[in-house]
Each structure stands twice: as structure tokens, then as C-alpha cells.
Structure 1
């Protein structure tokens, strides 16, 4: 083969290779064009996120809210169920775009992710068995056995109690099961989650005692570098509050209007 033919062949090869590479780059951009928002959530945190027994769909306050946010943004929301302690790592790895799961906004978490503006105010409370009349406040938990959900603020606060024995579970239902079986003396979790559990159980097996430990605010988390998405979510939340959709969702799940 002549030198001219060799040179021509090499040029052709480079054109084909780089042309294909260019096509590949365009293909990788398609997910953004499809307008899909991949959302992670720990879906056993009723009434915020849980699975409908009949339809198997993920429902709850958070689920309705994120779908409304997605609609406002003009994107399709796809929910992925995962462990609560895996949500922030999934955001950092780019496996999901956002996380909504009754996640309290804390300084420690804010170092790793960007939070939306708060969308719900909560607080920690304790649940004991219905026949327990000795535990009446968080101070009474000193030296006791406490069940918590791993990776939550409830777990962090429980560990601060003197001489306490903390047992961590993957989700809230497992913690309540442990309480019913007598494996722990109390469950420490978010107040609305505890209230929902008591309501569903009819108040026969357990009760909430004492005042809420603190005040917490929930936020929707996105990757630290994704400030644009955080801004879009904030704008959508503002619009939902203005047009009354946020209030409708709140009343649906909590039976009362949101605090002003």
C-alpha cells in the first residue's frame, strides 16, 4: 500500500472514531432531554412515604409533594426505594438526582448536600408500650433500651442519653415491632411518624409520652454541586404554596392546615 493510501486510511479511521465518539456524547445527554427526576426515598416512613398494600405504589405526604414539585418543574418523577443511610451517598455518587424522606436539615448533612427550603416542621418524640407508666420524659430514658432508625436524628439524640442502650433498625416499623416484643423500653422517632403509628394501631399497644425533644425541619436534598436543581425545587415549592396545592396535600395527610 502506498504512503498516500496509508495516510488516507488513517484520516478516514480518525474521522470514523471521533465521529462515533461524538455520537456517543449526544446519546449520554439524552436522559436530561427526557426530563426525568430520579428521587431516592426510604419508603417505610409513614405517613411521609410508604407502599400501598393494594397498588404497591409509593404514597404519603412526601410522595405527593415531590410529584407536585415535579409537575411544577415539568419533569417526570421516578422514585427509587433505598435505605435511609444510603440516600446521601447515592446523591454524592450521582445515582439519584434528589432525596425526599423526612430528612431533617442539619449542619452535618448540609456539608455533603444542598437542601431545599424547609417544607415541614417536626420534632422528636418517644413511644412506649401502653401499660408503661414509669417512662414519662426523655430524662427517664437514662439507662434504658431504645430503638431507633439508623442514620436518623432520632438515633443521634438517643445516643446522647446517659447510659442508654441504643438498638438501630433499618426502618421505623422494625423499631415498633421490637417495642411490642419487649426487646426495648421505648422508640425515639419523629413525632408525626409516631403519631401515625399510634393511630394505625388504634392506641392499643403503645402511646406517646412527654414533650417533643426539639424542633426540626425537613428538606429535599440534592447533590452539593447541583445548585441549579435546588433553586428549581425551591421555586416549585413557593409556587405550590401560592396556588394552594401544598395546603391540599398537607390537609390530606395530617387533617389540618399547615402552620403559618
Structure 2
């Protein structure tokens, strides 16, 4: 009788521990920030939420970590201060890894290349070299990195740069024939082409830059955990499928979207740790 009672108590203790462990896993929540106006990475839905590549990316990471993702959409300018203040555990907004940022933040390895790409009319000639645009007009979003880049090449190439209040207006200039091409980020350009069959992607300018997920400097373990999830998404084809879904583009062989990087963080930047871990993909 006493033995049976002890067995009952042991079983009860085990069940309680398992229940507590399950509850802890279910209660694990990360507060994630992103810019909800940067299509196709994050954009408003009709129901008042947000959707896009980076929303899917954050939710898939949460699924793989067994955690709930509390996603908050706000202006990009407030994201890094919010992260540093502890409002967010990490950011899911596309954030270019730069030496300056990496001095103050901890980044995962890159998950997408951030390049410049031209958009032209679908029935127009393919641009293989920028010199082919001599004497032509290039439409850009005013004040953007693409505006600065295009104007920096104005004298060398001999094109004319026209700036517009939004990239949508710059795209419209191409559609109406007021500009020969629009230049923007490769994913934004891909999204514009995906939505409009009258457009096509053209010349790609490689910058060598990538987007990574930023964390506070003291979040090493969480950064590493999220990075392992990202690596598995590259390995098992999830990142490829998401690129095709949101950008209409299959990542090229060797591109950041499908190529895991050795170590933790982005090589060549502060915060990178070289090791030989192997992602335990399920």
C-alpha cells in the first residue's frame, strides 16, 4: 500500500513537472519590432494586421523556437531605440548590417542580399550594362539611397535622374514612358514586377550588403538560437519558398537567402563568432 502511494506521488510529481514545462514553453514570448509600411516585407492587411516576407520570417522563427511572437509595427526610426530600451527582444525589419550598427548591436548572419535593381517596361530592351541608359531618364524615390547612387553616376553614365515622392510614383513614370527605368532595392523592385505584368526586372547592381536581424549586445544566446533557426530555413528550402511567394524570385545559387554561413553573426563585422556548430534542423 505504501509502495503504491509512493508510486502515485512520484507519478504526480512527474506529471506536474511536465505540465509546468509545457506551460513554460507555451508562455515563451518574444516582442519583435518591424516597419509595417515597407512592402513586401511588412504591410497593412485589410483586417488591421500586417503581412509580408518579414512577418512570415518572424512567425516561422517563433514556430521553430516554440515561442509566441508579439509583432509590433512602428516607424523604422523608432525600432533601434526601442530595441536598446528593451521594448523589443529583437527586430524583424530588414536592417542592413554596417560596421557602425554592428558596433552597437548584435546581428545574426545575413538572410537576404540587399542590392539595387532596375525595373523597365516588359516590352522594352533588357539592360545588361548601365552605359545603355546614356541619355535616358532614371526615376527614383526622392532622398533614398538609390537617389544618391543614381545621382552619383549622373555625369559618368550620362543619364538624367528624376526624383519622386514615393517609389510607386517612380514606377508610374516608367509605365507612362516618362522614365526608361526605375532603380530601387531588389526585393522592392521584384514586388513591383510581381504586381504588374507590364514591368520586368533588369540590371542588378550588387552592393555586397545583407540584411540581418539585430539584437542587443547582451542577447548572445537568443541571437544564436534565432540564427540556428534561420540557417535551418535556408537548408530546408523555407527561405526559398518565402522568396518565391513574396518576391516572385527564386534565389540564385550561392545567394545569402539559401546559403548558411559558418559561425554566428556576419563575417567581417563586430559580433561575429567563428565556430563549427551544425544546425540541428528538424
Q: Quick check: TM above 0.5?
A: yes
Mark the CA change 1:95 to 1:258 in structure 2 (over 3 Å): closer, same or farther: farther
1:77 corresponds to 2:72: no
- Alpha-carbon RMSD: 3.9
Higher alpha-carbon deviation: 59-68 or 117-126: 117-126
List runs of 5+ in structure 2 lacking aligned partners: 1-24, 255-282
Q: Pick from 201, 208, 231: which aligns with 2:196?
A: 201
Correspondences of 1:134-149 after superposition (within 5 Å): 147-148=140-141
Q: Answer with 1 or 2: which has the greater Rg.
A: 1
Q: Pick from 232, 238, 253: which aligns with 1:259?
A: 253
List runs of 5+ in structure 1 lacking aligned partners: 1-31
How far apart are the structure 2 equivalents of 1:223 and 1:185? Answer: 43
Give aligned pairs, total: 222
Deviation, structure 1 residue 259: 3.4
How far apart are the structure 1 equivalents of 2:153 and 2:73? Answer: 31
Deviation, structure 1 residue 210: 3.5
TM-score (norm 1): 0.64
- Would you say the 8 A contact 1:146–1:184 is kept in 2? yes
Q: Pick from 36, 39, 49: which aligns with 2:42?
A: 49
1:118 corresponds to 2:110: yes
Give the structure 2 partner of residue 93 of structure 1.
85
Mark the CA change 1:92 to 1:252 in structure 2 (over 3 Å): closer, same or farther: same
Mark the CA change 1:250 to 1:207 in structure 2 (over 3 Å): closer, same or farther: closer
Mark the CA change 1:33 to 1:199 in structure 2 (over 3 Å): closer, same or farther: closer
TM-score (norm 2): 0.60
- Would you say the 8 A contact 2:244–2:250 is kept in 1? yes
Mark the CA change 1:114 to 1:157 in structure 2 (over 3 Å): closer, same or farther: farther
Deviation, structure 1 residue 123: 0.9
Give the structure 1 partner of residue 216 of structure 2.
223
- Alignment partner of 1:38: what SS? strand
Higher alpha-carbon deviation: 41-50 or 115-124: 41-50
Give the structure 2 partner of residue 238 of structure 1.
231
Mark the CA change 1:110 to 1:155 in structure 2 (over 3 Å): closer, same or farther: farther
- Alignment partner of 1:56: what SS? coil
- Would you say the 8 A contact 1:124–1:215 is kept in 2? no
Higher alpha-carbon deviation: 80-89 or 121-130: 121-130
Correspondences of 1:181-196 after superposition (within 5 Å): 187-196=182-191
Deviation, structure 1 residue 37: 1.2
How far apart are the structure 1 equivalents of 2:215 and 2:147? Answer: 23
